[in-house]
A and B are shown apart, each in its own frame.
Chain A
Amino acid sequence: MSEPAVTIRFDGNGRTYRPGETLAGEYRFESLPAAEVKAVEVSVLWFTEGKGDEDMAVHAFWRLNAEDGTTLDPSQPQHFNTVLPNSPLSYEGLIVKLRWCVRVRAFLHRNKELFGQKTFRLGDVPAVKALP
């Protein structure tokens, strides 16, 4: 049996979005028995990455709890959509980068977790070029 995994897909296979545009897509779990899943969290967020302190903020968040009586069938694709904000825009700098992503976390029994993430671009700020 293969390892459990999360697959995230954006509608239209889009990876660059304009501010105010709707980000829509779906996620699904593979090789994950329904009885194992206690809760699933889906976030649309941005984070910084680079040499300095890191920052992040969540733009949209959904949590599905099996304990609340919600039926969680990991094999079925689950849809998400949100209207993206005007900022911050994705940025590919030398010492800091700002990335947007959809992050899916499944909380399993015995304190285990399954995690998946797919990045996308918000805006069209060109990557910074290093001076020679």
Chain B
Amino acid sequence: MNADGVENPFCTRRIRPGAMPFLFSGDASAETLVARLRANNWRGQIVGPHGSGKSALLAALIPAVERAGQQVLSLELHDGQRALPHDFWRGPQLASCTLLIVDGYEQLGRWACFRLRRFCRRPRLCRAGFQPDQDELETRPTGLLVTAHAPVGLPELCRTAADLDLACRLVSQLQRDHQMLVTAQDVVERFPRHGGNLRELLFDLYDLYERRQRAN
């Protein structure tokens, strides 16, 4: 990868949501979750603690949701962001979207949540059915899919939680095309230190990989 050595497989570019396939558990898949979301009139919440894969799951769902004919508008909220961006309500994307996705919904203040939900409940003119080539129009509410650390009163789509097995699979997958400098034993030792926060674990493993790579 680089002019000096090799890329660190735990760098941001490789671990950010959407950079690699989401590892679903059991029989779940993007399609089954989208079917559940549709059954709930495109309303749902993904609940889980910090670093448990909520944003990664959203990144995996968005293409499937779009294949199901939804026009997605996605918002990512950061720590302390109590209000929606100033231009949000006037943006042309909002007018055409049929599913609003808010990553980090619990950041919003009460007024912003109320306003957002009122907007989504209000029937608007949009394409009927779920096929992208369908031209027929209907009025229906805008869908709302959010991630949060605790339930926010929407139908539950999924709960995310990291466990040791998932962490080991993830680490193995990340190093698939790289030198295996981080072992399963490393993951076993370090996973408990991060309280189930996969993001923090992967940052930690970045440092470990870097040290071992330079020592080689």
Residues of A participating in the B interface, judged by any CB pair closer than 8 Å: 15-16, 49-54, 90, 92, 94-95, 97, 99-100, 119-121, 127, 129-130
Contact = CB atoms under 8 A, between A and B. Distances in A.
A54 B15 CA distance: 12
Interface stretch (B5-13, B124-132, B163-171): B5-13
Interface of B: 1-5, 7-8, 11-13, 203, 206-207, 210-211, 214-215
Contacts of A54: 12-13
Given A49-B11, A51-B11, A51-B203, A119 B214 contact: no
Given A15-B3, A49-B7, A121-B3, A129 B12 contact: no
Most chain B beta-carbon contacts within 10 A, residue among A51, A94, A119, A129: A51
A38 B13 CA distance: 28
A51 B3 contact: no
Contacts of B210: 94, 130
B63 to A, nearest CB: 13
Contacts of A121: 3-4
B3 A16 contact: yes
Contacts of B12: 49-54
B3 A90 contact: yes
Nearest to A93: B210
